[in-house]
Amino acid sequence: MLALIQAGGAGTRLKSITGDLPKPMVKIGGKPILEWQVASLLRSGIDEIIIVISTKGEAIPSYFGDGSKFGAKISYITETSPLGSGGALCYLKGKVDDDFVLCFGDLMLDVDWKRMIAFHKGKNAKITCFAHPNAHPFDSDLLVTDKEDRVTSIDSKNNTRDYYYKNLTNAGLYILSKDVLESIGEPRKIDFEKDVVRPAVDKGGVYAYRSSEYVKDCGTPDRYASVSEDLANGIISAKNLSNLQKAIFLDRDGTINVFGDFVTRAEMLSLAPTAAEAIRLIDQSQFLPICITNQPVIARGETTFAEMDRIHDRMEDLLGAEGAYLTDLFFCPHHPDSGFKGEVKELKIVCDCRKPKIGLLLKAKEKYNIDLSSSWFIGDTKQDVQTGINAGCRTVLLTTGDPRPNKNYAEAEPTFTTDTLLSAVRRILKEN
């Protein structure tokens, strides 16, 4: 598979660091950003690379040459006039006979491209966007997806959001079908998202590949400093999904949100004190924060799947407002006992996903390549503790959620007990 890297930007916001160098040539950990990208592609067997440069980008071919010293085959497209984020794609017409990667050169990343390619092929997608939650969804364009990961719309950051929304942003990495090139004519300035992605969304050919891997823009001094710190702490490479991951699994009610009656409407949910701070600390670590929750209110007919989506969207919005995000969330809608007014018969089953069974953790394990033995489960009941034990995780019992934590599985013993999610996370991170 071929990769096209857009490296023609001026990088004016990073001038204090780059000087006259193109932004992708700024060094992090002794190597240009662009070299980190090339190395990531090569690890997944993508060794044919085309780099788009501007007329002032001579430093790039001077450093990389034909790519042979890096084990790659590198060629260049020089834009004599700016073609925007998508105009250079016209030069690939007739030159590619398969799908290809598109990457923007100011991103520090470490990605298992093989997993993303497998997703793209499996969906028969025209465009696959690398997608992830971030710490500022309120000022980001967001991808709206269906249950099959198909992108149904793009929620512009300029919209008036008087609704709850999912925290899922487009990271700037893509896999494209060569068919996409048919919509691009002669060389002209094109906005890739506006002129290529959005029309493809309307035709139903765009999918979101949700990943926890490291992809961050280095385009400002503050971001550059943050990425440099992450590299020094080993976080960037550790997040690559070819490596086993560590998760901190989190119960929802009484752990992330305030304990009370079952939440049946979005407006009823409020975050537990310090929960956002705790999750923000996990985000900055090598652990993945993943919510695992039983929600039998659906099976009992007390709320709907649509309203549960609103509830979880509100939770994501409240976390995002405080700079925190969950890697993912998995919930069980089932309930084994019948006899409730308005119950949904098809959901009144004995399933493999209702805690303390570990079906949801196994789904997370498969999706994110998680080593359960290196992971933790935090909750406010012994049922949560038993779930973690069943999965081979270490466990924490919180004392500030459910006032009856021992009502089920009283014999389950946690690794340790503490009061708040924040104190639990601080201890875990200190010991790991």
Question: In this structure, is the dihedral angle defined by the CA atoms of residues 270, 276, 282 and 283, taken in order, positive or negative?
Answer: positive
Active site residue 253: yes
Provide the number of structural domains found in the chain.
2
Answer for the pair 148, 138: CB distance below 8 angstroms, yes or no: no
CATH number at residue 38: 3.90.550.10
Residue 51 gets the label, from left (phi > 0), alpha (psi -120 to 50) or beta, of beta
Spatial distance between the Cα atoms of 24 and 32, rounded to a whole number of angstroms: 6
**pLDDT single digits (tens) 62-107:** 999 999 999 999 999 998 888 888 888 888 887 888 999 999 998 9
**pLDDT single digits (tens) 206-227:** 999 999 999 998 878 888 999 9
Spatial distance between the Cα atoms of 388 and 395, rounded to a whole number of angstroms: 6
- pLDDT(428) > 90: yes
Q: Is residue 176 part of a domain?
A: yes
Spatial distance between the Cα atoms of 286 and 256, rounded to a whole number of angstroms: 20
Q: Is residue 406 part of a domain?
A: yes
Mean pLDDT of 30-50: 96
Question: Are 217 and 264 part of one and the same domain?
Answer: no
**pLDDT single digits (tens) 323-371:** 999 999 999 999 998 888 899 999 999 999 999 999 999 999 999 999 9
Which pLDDT band, with edges at 50, 70 and 90, does 2 fall under? very high
CATH number at residue 328: 3.40.50.1000
Q: Is residue 383 part of a domain?
A: yes
Question: Are 228 and 271 part of one and the same domain?
Answer: no
**Domain stops at, among 208, 232, 256:** 232
Residue 269, domain extent: 244-431
Q: Which of 155, 253, 317, 402 is catalytic?
A: 253
Question: Are 320 and 227 part of one and the same domain?
Answer: no
Q: Is residue 194 part of a domain?
A: yes
pLDDT for position 81 = 85
pTM (two decimals)? 0.94
Task: Please give the backbone phi and psi of residue 343, each rounded to the nearest 5 degrees, phi first.
Answer: -65, 155
Nearest Cα neighbor of 11 from 218, 311, 211, 154 is 218
Kindly report the number of other CB atoms within 10 A of residue 124's CB atom. Answer: 9
Question: Are 189 and 316 part of one and the same domain?
Answer: no
Active site residue 384: no
Q: Which of 251, 328, 380, 384 is catalytic?
A: 251
Question: Are 21 and 150 part of one and the same domain?
Answer: yes
Question: Are 225 and 259 part of one and the same domain?
Answer: no
pLDDT for position 18 = 60
